[in-house]
Amino acid sequence: MLQISLCPSPVLYPYYKTEQEEYTVVIVDIFRAGTTITTALMNGAVGIIPIATVEEAEIYAGNGFLVGGERGTKRLPFAHFGNAPEEYTRQAVEGKQLVLSTTNGTRAADIVAGALHVIIGAFINLEAVARYCIAKQKPVMVLASGWQNRMSTEDCLFAGALAATIVRLGEEVICEDGASVFQELWGNYNTHEKLMAYLNGRDHYERLRANKLERSVPYCTSLNLTEIVPELTFKISAASTDCPANRLFLPVTPPF
């Protein structure tokens, strides 16, 4: 029996957080940081360092790191990659440690540092994330990155998809209000085709289209392309003292 809650904006995290911190946080940013991190690890990157500020990301770039960076859908001038998952090909990232700093997604990694397990959930690794949550047997909080602290449908809908998938895999769930709403909604959009059609017209898709970035949408709404789950770890990397990364996403795969 797993409890599942949905925190619909990073700003609300303090109000959804429990005292014990004995839970699994699933950070979600479907368009596009979460899908991008998962893709980079799927294509052989050895670790992703999430960085909140542009200034800090630029220092990493200056110290020889490969940096993906974006603000308001625009690639940062010093960055090697933007935030589109299709840029993170095997050829480009295999064997590399990357730094990523995006508008919405990577800040979430800062605020959840106290949770027991922190992973990234995306539609491309939905079932693997469900298996991870079942294996850990801790309450699950889906932390939707949203858009500039506002609620975003596609991120919230992932909470519903996750609840439904956990049930399909044979585990019972108890959903709090928000997760329950989106579990019901997911019933209407639970295939790649329905999901893509539904999100076509939602706010975030329109923002992508306005910036000619909608080519990422079919990929970001694909289901179960990989078994890799990006898991936040808190080890000190071998970076220089100017780049004191103390946490990075590493790939884990079943069995968890």
Interface with a second copy, residue 223, by CB under 8 A: no
**Tokens 């289901």 sit on residue:** 223
Q: Which parts of 24-116 are beta strand (E)?
A: 24-28, 47-50, 66-71, 74-75, 97-101
Spatial distance between the Cα atoms of 241 and 201, rounded to a whole number of angstroms? 46
Count of Cβ atoms closer than 10 Å to residue 193 Cβ: 10
46, 167, 185, 223: which one contacts a second copy (CB under 8 A)?
A: 185
The nearer residue to a second copy, 137 or 188, going by C-beta atoms, is 188
56, 87, 203, 227: which one contacts a second copy (CB under 8 A)?
A: 203
Write down the least CB distance from residue 173 to a second copy, Å: 14
3, 12, 54, 171: which one contacts a second copy (CB under 8 A)?
A: 12
Interface with a second copy, residue 22, by CB under 8 A: no
74, 90, 150, 168: which one contacts a second copy (CB under 8 A)?
A: 150
| Site string (130-149) toward a second copy, x via CB under 8 A | ------------------xx
Cβ neighbors of 15 (< 8 A, separation 6 or more) are 7
Positions 103 through 132 that interact with a second copy (CB under 8 A): none
The one-letter amino acid at 140:
V
Count of Cβ atoms closer than 10 Å to residue 103 Cβ: 19
